[in-house]
Structure 1
Amino acid sequence: GHFCDYVQRYIKQDPNFGETAAEREFNFSRGGYQIYTTIDLDMQAAGNEATRNNVPAAMDGIDVGSASSSVEVGTGRVLTMVQNKPFSNVPEVLESDPGYSAINYNTDYDLGGSGGFQVGSTFKAVTLAEWIRTGHSVRDIVDVNSRTVQESSIKASCMPDGVYGFGSFPFTNDNEGTRGNQTVLTAMAKSINGGLVSMQQKMDLCETFDTAKKLGIHRAANQTNEELPTYGTQELSMVPSNVYGGIDEIAPITMAAAYAAFAGDGTVCTPVPIDSITGPDGKEVPFTKSKCTEALAPEVAAGVAYALQYAVTNGLADHAASAYGTPHLAKTGTTDDVVDNWTVGASTRVATATWVGNAGPVQLWDGSWGRVSTQGFGGLMYADQSIWPAIMNTADAKYGGDAFPEPSAASVQQTMVAVPDVKGKAFDEAVSMLTQLGFNVSDGGEIDSSVAKGLVAASDPAAGSSIGQGSGVTVYRSNGEASPIPDGLVGATGNAAKSTLNGAGFSNVDFTCEAGGKADGKKHRVVASNPESGAEARVTGTVTLTLDCGKNRD
């Protein structure tokens, strides 16, 4: 029902059928057209069965909804359009039975009446695409901690002053046990918000949303908040929380088309529900066909596919693995309070987006209206994890799928960077140098050093070490309470070496023998010192000189 309604609306908005809405309506109703659609009946049947088994048409206490759209990779042909509520546009039916709906949850508002749904972490794939496009690697290391971020750290070339703002915003990870530094690959697989924020801090917010636009991602309906700059448009909200949290309401069919680009060498195709139309005379009738464009360079798409495959084999999208061994890429998404739950993914042949959640506001216990969490309604919050595989396994059995293209070395190999020498620099200057190179810097406190108090004494890893970009570097400040052990100790007599140490301020000097015997500082010579020459130590500490006591000296 909803798919047929979608086909009708698609034609009635097609200028090929008339210049005005009235003309298009007349031609559709009286044209005698034979319309051949793209729907795959096997996939549709599998989707319908899985949806019925996991999501009821209506539930008390929640406006329950589910929608799944599948498109063919590389063509945009719509293969599946499923939802939990059967179609009806009869007012009496809609008023008496909440298990029916005239609204198509799968499409944009103008093609079915839905305002879309927040896509949650499925939007992270867009941020990842921009990460790879700008020359970064999925094995670069990023800070994944929950924290408060300065808005000025978010570059935004299309905004005043070239940054997002001058305030701050806090964010948290879904799993607060997730801390420290992780690879981008792990941050994606485990859907760690902090990792995506760190990635965006190294990119341009405007360009991230430009990439989303190229992928065809847009709001399902016009923005209704008059206070937002996107009011009255279907443009996405250009805010940091979108890059990891997917706060805009988007149609499932839009997300399926975008993920088809990740699986299809970066080519995005507008969804089309029609294969052909013939008139009563048997001649083909022209209609608006899919338009395919390159949204991403093939090597960028391959890098995204690599990371999203890892999310299936090693991450939260493990339910998206094929029963037939067909390679799949996928990403899950859950919005605040578990209102919306998503699985979006693809093989090289078919892309599918499944949403399960709260379709609209319901009256809450206090009389207000709001959206209800899917938690507490049986297995509703996990239903997408059953519906999506049912559709895709049917697609795999019918169409198969190839291995995804190999990603470029640059997108999957860790970028190695040499740690600069920051010894003797002011702490803030050292931090600035290291962060500009992409390192995550931590304060190691003070250590014994001959460097002036308060300046940098050392780093760990040490200067010159080659480590992965984004790795942690600990910076230590000097307490000014150490001196270098002087040179020239080894080979000198014990007494001579002791005199040298005393002159450098080290008053506590002990002798020990290399191989037994009694140490004689006058006769025996130094074979080693602890600490060694060049090392730094407190002058109040003890320096031990090892002598060659077993050898006779004149």
Structure 2
Amino acid sequence: MLGAAGAFIGMSVVAGLLVTAAVTPAIAVTGMAANNSIGVFEGLPEYLNVDQLAQPTTIYAKNGDQDVPLATFYSQNRLPVAFDQISQAAKDAAIAGEDPRFYTHGGVDIQGTVRGVLSTVAGGGVQGGSSITQQYVKNVLLQKCEALPVKTKEQKATYQQCVDDSTGVSPDRKVKEMKYAIGIEKKYTKDQILVGYLNIAGFGGTVYGIEAAAHYYYNTTAAALTPAQAASLIAIVNEPTSLKIDNPDSETNGAANGYAKNKERRDYILQKMYQYKRITKAQYDESVKTPIQPVITPSERGCQTAGGSAYFCDYVQKIILNDPTFGADEDTRASNFNRGGYKIYTSLDLQLQQVAESTINSYVPQAYDRADLGGVLVGVQPGTGRVLYMAQNKTYSQDPEILNQGKQYTSVNYATDQNYGGSNGFQVGSTYKVFTLAEWLKQGHSLNETVNANVRTYDQSKFKDTCPGAAWGGPWKPTNDSSGEEGIRSAQNATTNSINTAFVAMAYQLDLCEIKKDAEAFGVHTATGSPLDTNPASVLGTNNIAPLTMATAFAGIANNGMTCSPIAIDKIVDGNGKEIAPPATKCTQSVDPAIANTMAKALQGPIQNGTAANMNRTGKDMLGKTGTTDGNEQLWLVASTTKVAGAYWVGNISGHVDMRRIYPTHGTTPAIARTAVMRTMMTAAVGKYGGDDFPAAPDKLTRGVQVALPDLTGKTPDEAKSILTGLGLDSADGGPQDSVAPAGTISATDPAAGTQVSKGTVITLFTSNGSLVPVPNVVGQKYGDALAALTAAGFKVKTNGGNSPTATVQAQDPAGNAPAKPGTEVTLTLAAPAAPPTQGTGG
């Protein structure tokens, strides 16, 4: 028998002896030529590359300063440990039960091999005799097979061939195994091989390695295993399927019969441990008397174990599966994810996540008899793109049986894009108006500038759209959410009150293609990956977009126009302790900071006194915008401080239920409740992260370039419009009015002449119908003269008493030169007539 040292020196001799003594008898039985197997032996590479063992991947979330496990994934439940983290009992059990001469042979136990060959000759197949090193080789080869994809028929065939080559009963395989074992012993120490074997061995089902086995079967560690427990686990390695001890109902190896098959093998190992003086007689006696009583402690895996954070967990998993950093194709990435032992440290803030989950659960029921109702709260950090929370009103599951139990279950992540486990997205309504506002400001318009928001019919072909293939036509008559929103409206007023007709009028002056490009600059895209629509109605939010995308865009507005793509992973450490660079955010200057800061100013309007009034009670600057689609089927509220941006969506997953006509919770409608939902969420966000003041918006973008409105009275409408155009102002027809001006000429303007207005402002022009004339000014005249003048001008006359022709008019109403319709009664205030002079008498 060769010793360990001699094995390293005389390995070539051993190899020759093995081929002659061990292989040839088996070949004789099978009819294979001996020189063929010798050729196989000599042609094999000497060393076997030992790949990293399959290990569980764990996703972590943030709880304050602590990283806490969120979910674990594995194809093989394995927790590799070092040599000194395994009890001596487990090491001794493995050697005594599987390879008593492990520390004295050179990789192949000649005595065991010869015994196995003799068994082969008698039984007709290659059997037994494998040393621990050979078993380690077999498991290493099998691990390589387990990493192969098995989706297609061809892949399955390749996988099975690999398994057969690694574990099949054939002389050639045995020869390969021996050669590799010899090479392994040259490269690694005995202790390294033993710990490698104990870490790689299968212990039934998906349990691999002594540490995972100790946890699963006995709720302990490999370091704390007793001789009885260790021998019971090593027994499983011999026949993992029939000797595992997690099925109490098994007829042959269940709890009812004391797990008899496992106990039989266990006691055999204990006897060998005693025989080789690895345990005392007392330990042996105590161990064999110990009943097999497993404490099954499953290691749950998958995102369903993450509770309300499951959809964020699923998002992280999809990030890995979609990123070429983690493998050339999806199959490789999936294998690496489930086997690579990654520690994935994410951006999820469990404190905000808890608020999001409790809030969404309070306001949006998982199942509702009147609607297929969905809801999402998702938040990101401006400047970093880190996703801080992601909650929705469903219970996550991938199990078809569970998914069929009701609408409260789904595997679809409504917060994300389709490629990341999400849905097809949802129409975003008026939240999309911010991109028209961006283009409005980019083109030199201001928040004070006004447009005609009256309801009217547009010829869609008249809208400018320079995107390739754009061709819109036909009449379109957009309306508003509420009555009374028409008239001349400033861009600020239109934003504060979300006036559809005003934004359509703004878009009519712009390029629809540029509005789309502005949205894209803020990271906006459809959830399915199709191009954003640019038809005129798109400015009111008809594109289907994911909530995470809208939160990201608003974060860009609050971040001086710098939009950072969302990321969910802060750090990744692989199974070897090496850091892997996670997908990084990409920050883009979406618009000039001055434009973004003006957008932020405008978007404070809806929260301060507009469609989301009373949402912000934090005392910090906050911007936001509501969104409501046709029929009130989808509702949105997106908001941001300088530190946290959040999006809330609630609406129909399927069907067409009006969100203003149902009362699912709190005795109110989702339309009314959305302000309360986001108030709760953003208050918590500010409480945790704070918030800064938004930078001041430049005057030229808020007030615009100011011009003095000239007096246009008496001008023809064409002359007045020409003058206004020259000043950079627009005009609207206010209709005819009573005026002293000649009929058909301008009688008045709104604003009035002399007012300072922003360029682009719409000036309302009123035309005279010529129905008024100036009242003659008769103050100071004798009543007789005044009566004649007023009567001649067509007015009626009334006095305050008296009608002496010589009385003087002290006052009149209407006043002199005031416009009035002929026939109007003029009231005169007369002074008493003067007394005649007195004639004197002589005396």
Give the TM-score taking structure 2 as reference length: 0.54
Contact 2:776 2:793 in 1 (8 A): no
1:209 aligns with 2:516: yes
Measure, in 2, the Cα distance between the counterparts of 1:133 and 1:29: 49
Measure, in 1, the Cα distance between the counterparts of 2:507 and 2:485: 19
Q: CA deviation at 1:458?
A: 5.5
User: 2:664 — aligned with what?
Assistant: 378
1:393 aligns with 2:683: yes
Paired residue type of 2:685: A
Q: CA deviation at 1:347?
A: 1.1
Identity of aligned residues (%): 38
Q: CA deviation at 1:301?
A: 1.2
Aligned with residue 353 of structure 1, among 640, 647, 650: 647
User: 2:376 — aligned with what?
Assistant: 67
Aligned with residue 605 of structure 2, among 288, 298, 310: 310
Q: CA deviation at 1:282?
A: 1.6
Contact 1:320 1:330 in 2 (8 A): no
Deviates more, 1:277-286 or 1:164-173: 164-173
Q: Secondary structure of 2:580's partner? A: coil
Aligned with residue 38 of structure 1, among 347, 371, 377: 347
Q: Secondary structure of 1:373's partner? A: coil
1:475 aligns with 2:766: yes
Q: Secondary structure of 1:73's partner? A: coil
User: 1:109 — aligned with what?
Assistant: 418
Q: CA deviation at 1:201?
A: 2.8
Contact 1:37 1:276 in 2 (8 A): yes
User: 2:17 — aligned with what?
Assistant: none
User: 1:363 — aligned with what?
Assistant: none
Measure, in 1, the Cα distance between the counterparts of 2:513 and 2:719: 29
Q: Deviations over 1:79-105 (max 9, x none)?
A: 111011111011111112321101000
1:190 aligns with 2:497: yes
Deviates more, 1:324-333 or 1:69-78: 324-333
Contact 2:775 2:816 in 1 (8 A): no
Measure, in 2, the Cα distance between the counterparts of 1:538 and 1:192: 39
User: 1:442 — aligned with what?
Assistant: 734
Paired residue type of 1:151: Q
User: 2:591 — aligned with what?
Assistant: 296
Q: 5+ unaligned residues in a row in structure 1: which ranges?
A: 223-232, 361-369
Q: Deviations over 1:201-239 (max 9, x none)?
A: 3322222221111011111114xxxxxxxxxx2x22112
Q: Secondary structure of 1:137's partner? A: coil
1:23 aligns with 2:308: no
User: 2:625 — aligned with what?
Assistant: 331
Q: Secondary structure of 1:188's partner? A: helix
Q: CA deviation at 1:517?
A: 13
Q: Deviations over 1:418-476 (max 9, x none)?
A: 43565665535645664761233311246444x5x545465455655544553542321
Deviates more, 1:170-179 or 1:260-269: 170-179
Deviates more, 1:310-319 or 1:286-295: 310-319
Q: CA deviation at 1:265?
A: 0.7
Q: CA deviation at 1:134?
A: 2.3
The structure in which a higher percent of residues are strand is: 1
* Superposition map of 1:2-21 within 5 A: 2-21=311-330
Q: Secondary structure of 1:359's partner? A: strand
Contact 1:145 1:173 in 2 (8 A): no
Contact 1:14 1:287 in 2 (8 A): no
Contact 1:105 1:116 in 2 (8 A): yes
Give the TM-score taking structure 1 as reference length: 0.80
Aligned-residue RMSD, C-alpha: 4.0
* Superposition map of 1:237-248 within 5 A: 237-243=533-539, 245-248=540-543
* Superposition map of 1:157-196 within 5 A: 157-158=466-467, 165=472, 167-196=474-503
Q: Secondary structure of 2:642's partner? A: coil
Q: CA deviation at 1:252?
A: 0.3
User: 1:280 — aligned with what?
Assistant: 575
Measure, in 2, the Cα distance between the counterparts of 1:169 and 1:274: 46
Paired residue type of 1:190: N
Contact 1:320 1:328 in 2 (8 A): no
Q: Secondary structure of 1:171's partner? A: coil
Q: CA deviation at 1:302?
A: 1.1
User: 1:225 — aligned with what?
Assistant: none
The count of residues paired between Structure 1 and Structure 2 equals 515
Aligned with residue 120 of structure 1, among 429, 432, 437: 429
Query: Judging changes above 3 Å, is the alpha-carbon distance between structure 1 residues 27 and 198 closer, same or farther for their aligned structure 2 residues?
Result: same
Q: Deviations over 1:55-109 (max 9, x none)?
A: 1111123211111111011010111110111110111111123211010000001
Measure, in 2, the Cα distance between the counterparts of 1:431 and 1:474: 9
By relative contact order (CA 8 Å, sep 6+), the higher-ranking structure is 1
Query: Judging changes above 3 Å, is the alpha-carbon distance between structure 1 residues 195 and 281 closer, same or farther for their aligned structure 2 residues?
Result: same
Q: CA deviation at 1:146?
A: 2.9
Paired residue type of 1:476: T
